[in-house]
Amino acid sequence: MSSRDQRVPTPQGDARVVTYPAERPWASCLLSHGASGGVDAPDLQLAARLLPANGVEVLLVEQPWRVAGRRSASPPPRLDEAFTAIVEQVAPRFPYVVGGRSAGARVGCRTGRLLGAVGVLALSFPLHPPGRPERSRLGELLGAGLPVLVVQGTRDAFGSAEDVRSAVGSNAPGRRQAGRRAGPGGRLAAYPRPRSVREHLSGRRGCTVGAADRVRLREARVSAGASTLAGDDRHTC
């Protein structure tokens, strides 16, 4: 099915939303980009191509600062305001997950619960600025108040998968790591990126669309998952 590209007005200017419909949708996933890239980021594009085959409609959200051609990202409150306006206008028809990569993941953590999302998907969550672990953003993860799935690189300068697991107090062995509850009603889990993104997203190994950290969508328990570039687990915005 072909994608739909639309402009959505927000208090910060027009945003862009590209919708990738699923043939038999049962959920939606709204993902935004990082502070130095757009919705053409390879991991977001992979999610947009592969999740619809699993019944998940994907909406890639390009923030107004990016649509306007500005080089610097807007401050967090403006990102949150724009994202809130976008979600309210596109009004997903199904239970939905919010999030994205890097800054987009942070926006999802801060706004998801108030927007009525059922979970957050965080790709390359920037746990702290490079070399500044004392400036932790852990509070955004733990304060999400929703189930949060973090997919993180093992060499990410903004915080590796191990850094995330350690920060949330998880001591469970192995690849799957269930951490503390992410605020009221939430749970946080951190996963390293797999070697093959295509296998990861298409349900063939590890934390996948078919077998990922499970969140409750209305009356059913369903799965959510995504990943990033194959062969490169470093943080790129």
Per-residue pLDDT tens over the stretch 141-178? 888 999 998 888 887 877 777 778 777 775 333 333 43
Q: How far is it, in rounded angstroms, from Cα 118 to Cα 81?
A: 19
- What pLDDT shows up at residue 53? 92
User: Going from the N-terminus, what domains does the chain have, and what CATH number goes with each?
Assistant: 4-223 (3.40.50.1820)
The mean-pLDDT minimum among 87-96, 121-130, 164-173 falls in 164-173
Q: How far is it, in rounded angstroms, from Cα 24 to Cα 44?
A: 21
- What pLDDT shows up at residue 234? 53
Q: Is the pLDDT of residue 36 over 90?
A: no
Question: For the residues 169-191, what does the mean pLDDT come to?
Answer: 45
Residues 6+ apart with CB under 8 A from 105: 99, 120, 121, 122, 123, 124, 125, 126, 150
Per-residue CA distances from 217 to 24, 109, 154 (Å) = 16, 17, 30
For the sheet with 119-123, list strands across it.
4-10, 13-20, 56-62, 27-32, 96-101, 119-123, 148-152, 188-192, 177-178
Q: How far is it, in rounded angstroms, from Cα 228 to Cα 81?
A: 26
- What pLDDT shows up at residue 189? 53
Question: For the residues 48-61, what does the mean pLDDT come to?
Answer: 94
Q: Is the pLDDT of residue 4 over 60?
A: yes
- More confident: 181 or 233: 233
What's the whole-number average pLDDT of the chain?
76
**pTM of the complete model:** 0.75
- What pLDDT shows up at residue 206? 28
